Structure 1
Amino acid sequence: MMRSLWSAVSGLQTHQLEMDVIGNNIANVNTTSYKSQATGFQDVLYQTIKTGTAGNGVKGSTSADQVGLGAKMGSININITKPGSAQTTYNPFDLMITGDSFFVVSESQNSPNQEKYFTRDGSFTIDAEGSLVTQNNGLYVNFIEGEGILGNGEPLISDRTKTMAGQATSEAYLKGNIDRDDKQLVEGRTIQMDVYGNDGNVYTINFKLTDNADDEDNTYSVQIDKILDKNGNKISNTLNEKLTLTYDHANGRLTGITPYPIYTLDNGVQELDDDGNVLSTTYTMDGRMGQAEFSRTLTGKDGNQYTIYYSIDHHVPEEGEEETDTADYDFNVVYVRKGEGTRQYINKTMAVIDYDSESGNLLTIDGENAGEINVDLSEIYDGIGDITFDISNTTIPVAAGTSYRFEFNGEADVLGSLNVDFSNTSNYASSNGVHSSSVSAIRGDTYGLNKGYPNGDMNGITISDNGSIYAKYSNGQDVKLAQIVVAEFNNAMGLEKAGDNVYKASLNSGEPIYMDITEDGGYMSSGVLEASNVDLAKEFTDMITTQRGFQANSRVITTSDELLQVLKGLKR
């Protein structure tokens, strides 16, 4: 009799647990990406009243007689593989993930030993520091290392990503006809093109197309006539002031006011302290574009003189005549010569020249770059640069259907290199007696299909179906910042729920397998969230059966109690 009471009690307890699970499922019917749970019962111990016997030829075999001692909760499983329905939010940072994958989130951005959590809830947002985090608890979303310009844990919006540097135009395509009887070709017909520079500004290049009169093959020459900045000023004509530079022997820094180009250098004026030690040397240079070479003679302890030769070059910023900031420069040691002996070339970029002022011995010629300007020994011409040939003296033959590469340096290095393609030009004389050539850019200028672009400001972020995060810029460019990593498990149903819509790996789930979501055929949907997968019809049905089971077990208790009352009455 007591067995029935204890069995019924265990049944009540088990059905209570099942009702708790059902209640939790119904409570989370609208929880984003919630995965419902299902219970599994199992019996407990059995008391054997009579053991089973084997047959002996006289009697047959018999089964054992056992009485059960109730039920218990066998398992509470997560319906992890059943997807929830899609809910549109129109928030670009809300993501729905397909397949068996999970987003990877963590409490710290950069700690290598941080605990990882896993979630199907793609309710993400950008926090105050520009990082992609979960909306409900601020956990950081993890990225795939090496995908995009950002590392794992770096904020999406920062000083590094808010703006984008421009890129110089690298290709230009011209079309039109070069009339062989065009008289303007004698002096040179101008072809004008607006292009982008490395600094993101617009520059106008004027090409001059000239007839090679002595050539019987109807060929022409093209050369760069001038380059104009956005204000219409010729680059080489806007910079003609002087520059005063001061070289500090204490730290090897060369500083100056108004960073104009350099052409010549005087012998310098030295500043001495009370003991006769050199504090600094001031050099004055003219403002033409070019390289300057100057020297410093040191007397060694052995009485020999050592001369150190330097060269310096400068890239002039646009509207440099208005600049007043201090500019830093790099030194290159071109060579060191002992007395009147042979020059010894040293191929090193240096920032510090260290010598003993007492002994006069040269101690080191070493150091790292101290400034922003690198030495360029290429010949230049009026701020336009050379093209792979000398613009000042040479032109190149052009025939219809050809292309040429122009290389810029010096002032014009803001333009990088430019491929000019003449393959769409023809070479026919006019039939109406009006001889005029017409050649213009069809691609490569700022108004056509252009491989260059100006500076841009970030004006949006998008997330693709493979989890790649792109920054959109005002110059029309998209840059991949990062890619969201996902994780899969050999047994996802073995994950442990940790609250706040996240899971933790367990011994039963196995270790996470990190990957790109497309590796298993999955994808992400932006502006969509995964709803709860709770099925209310099933939950109500389970609630009914649970209620009936609970009532039946309580009935067992009352019936057993009545039987005990009957036994109690027999004593009267």
Structure 2
Amino acid sequence: MLQSFYTGNTGLGANRDWLSVISDNIANVNTNGYKQEVVNFNDLVSSSLTTFSAGGAPKNREIGGGSFVGSTTKDFSQGAFKNTNQPLSLALDGEGFFIVRSPSANDLQYYTRDGNFRIDANGDIINQSGYKLQGWKLDENGNMIGDLEDVNIPSSLAPHMTSKVSFEEPTNLDSSVPVISIPFDQNNTSTYNYINTMPAYDSLGNSHTLSYYYRHTDETARRWEVVVLLDGEVPTGTQNNTLTLEFDDQGRITSASDGTNTATYTYDAQGNQSKSGNDPQPSFPLTNGAASPLSLTMSFDNVSEVASDFIFYSQQDGYGKGDLMNISVSEDGVLKGSYTNGQVKDVAKLGVATFKDKEILIRKGDNLYLPNQKTFTPIIVPGGVISKVRSGMLEMSNVDISKEFINLITAQRAYQANAKTITTGDQIIQTTMDIKR
């Protein structure tokens, strides 16, 4: 009979633990990225005896010893999103965890669903506890380089010297304009058909003006001369600044030459372009302390010559110094910095980790998880592979408050019922003792 006391006591302990888990879930209803815990009860067996009847049929006599909380399971279902309008508020739409590195000496990597990040004074992306977000650096072409490391957004961009100029569609030289045969004179507008300008930058970030004077020199050969000036003049020592362009009878470019370098173009039956040789490379000496000369590779691949209006559209790869204005994050985890010099630079790509058995990750507080010794090494992939990154959003707790209230009532009643079994057992013992009276 005394066994009922201990059986009831295990029920009290098990439901007390359940109440603790429920309380923890409710307490974290507003915790970003929190995943609720679910209690798993196991039964205890006090005695188990199997006997056999005269006919050989087995009979079991089993008396339970109560219950206990055998384990808890994390519910990793997706939480709802809330809008913050902050670009470094990030949420994972799908599987996985953000990877953050401890700022302390242990240098451990932790995993979290809480994407409440900000940029610190050093340009590192950190969470609210100072843990540094992990990702890969990107090169100029947007390719990931090196190992996973702290994501850092440069607060400024150093100047980049212009090295390449390209003329893009719909750049067109009007084939119907008059042919000019007199020598070029920049001060005489009758010596050229068109003029246009564009900026170029030296190694110190100083802006210079490139002026292009277009002269239609041969209608039959469909030839044009292009004179390139730097800041309105031809500095002493300038090389290859007079270019020659030729086109075929369909207005497609066939050659671009500066007298030293010549790019030649051919076309197949489908009109696909092939190119050989070297693009024109004019160069201009500089005397302002910047690296000299300003040497430019000029691509005319997409220039046409048809009877239509003159259109000038060009791009160059240089820029002056720029300071960080804002940050954006794409759904594939690419962090972009926008700078005051007009540049938008792909800086880094976020890493996302997942586990084969995420249920046994260990909670470490601060919305962080660590793998234990039985957890396989995480699978780390770039953002956008197993989940999309939502910028300006935070994942909310996935605690179902109404369900937890129902669990709270159930746990309370179960606790009371187990307490009642103890008091009932006490009453039975008292009744037994009263037999003697």
TM-score normalised per structure 2: 0.79
On the 8 A contact 2:201/2:208 being kept in 1, the answer is no
Distance (Å, rounded) in 1 between the aligned partners of 2:298 and 2:382? 38
> What letter matches 1:502 in structure 2?
L
On the 8 A contact 1:148/1:480 being kept in 2, the answer is no
In the TM superposition, what are the counterparts of 1:253-264 in structure 2 within 5 Å? none
Per the alignment, residue 39 of structure 1 pairs with 39
Counterpart of 1:77 (choices 73, 78, 93) is 73
Distance (Å, rounded) in 2 between the aligned partners of 1:155 and 1:513? 19
Per the alignment, residue 419 of structure 1 pairs with 299
Per the alignment, residue 327 of structure 2 pairs with 461
Following TM superposition, by how much is the alpha carbon of 1:475 offset from its aligned partner in structure 2, in angstroms? 4.1
Closer/same/farther in 2, CA of residues 17 and 203 from structure 1, 3 Å limit: same
**Are 1:409 and 2:283 counterparts?**
yes
Counterpart of 2:101 (choices 103, 106, 109) is 106
Counterpart of 2:84 (choices 78, 81, 89) is 89
Per the alignment, residue 354 of structure 2 pairs with 488
On the 8 A contact 2:136/2:149 being kept in 1, the answer is no
In the TM superposition, what are the counterparts of 1:208-357 in structure 2 within 5 Å? 209=215, 211=217, 217=220, 220=223, 222=225, 224=227, 227-229=229-231, 232=232, 234-236=233-235
On the 8 A contact 1:461/1:471 being kept in 2, the answer is yes
In the TM superposition, what are the counterparts of 1:138-217 in structure 2 within 5 Å? 138-144=130-136, 147=143, 152-153=148-149, 156-158=152-154, 161-163=156-158, 165=160, 167-168=162-163, 170-172=165-167, 173-177=171-175, 179-180=177-178, 184-188=180-184, 189-190=191-192, 191-199=194-202, 201-207=207-213, 209=215, 211=217, 217=220
| SS of equivalent residue, structure 1 residue 4 | helix
**Are 1:479 and 2:359 counterparts?**
no
| SS of equivalent residue, structure 1 residue 555 | helix
Per the alignment, residue 442 of structure 1 pairs with 312
Unaligned runs of 5+ in 2: 185-190, 257-278, 287-292
Counterpart of 1:557 (choices 405, 422, 431) is 422
On the 8 A contact 2:12/2:419 being kept in 1, the answer is yes
> What letter matches 2:428 in structure 1?
L
Distance (Å, rounded) in 2 between the aligned partners of 1:208 and 1:186? 13
Distance (Å, rounded) in 1 between the aligned partners of 2:245 and 2:111? 66
1:536-561 CA deviation, whole Å, 9 max, x = no partner?
11111111111111111111111111
| SS of equivalent residue, structure 1 residue 197 | strand
| SS of equivalent residue, structure 1 residue 130 | coil
Distance (Å, rounded) in 2 between the aligned partners of 1:116 and 1:148? 20
Per the alignment, residue 52 of structure 1 pairs with 51
Counterpart of 2:126 (choices 128, 133, 152) is 133
Distance (Å, rounded) in 2 between the aligned partners of 1:38 and 1:10? 19
Counterpart of 2:61 (choices 58, 65, 72) is 65
> How many residues are matched?
387
TM-score normalised per structure 1: 0.62
Counterpart of 1:567 (choices 424, 427, 432) is 432
Per the alignment, residue 114 of structure 2 pairs with 121
1:405-463 CA deviation, whole Å, 9 max, x = no partner?
42123517425111346953358xxxxxxxxxx9855212xxxxx34453252322111
On the 8 A contact 1:198/1:416 being kept in 2, the answer is no
> What letter matches 1:76 in structure 2?
T
Per the alignment, residue 543 of structure 1 pairs with 408
On the 8 A contact 2:103/2:130 being kept in 1, the answer is no
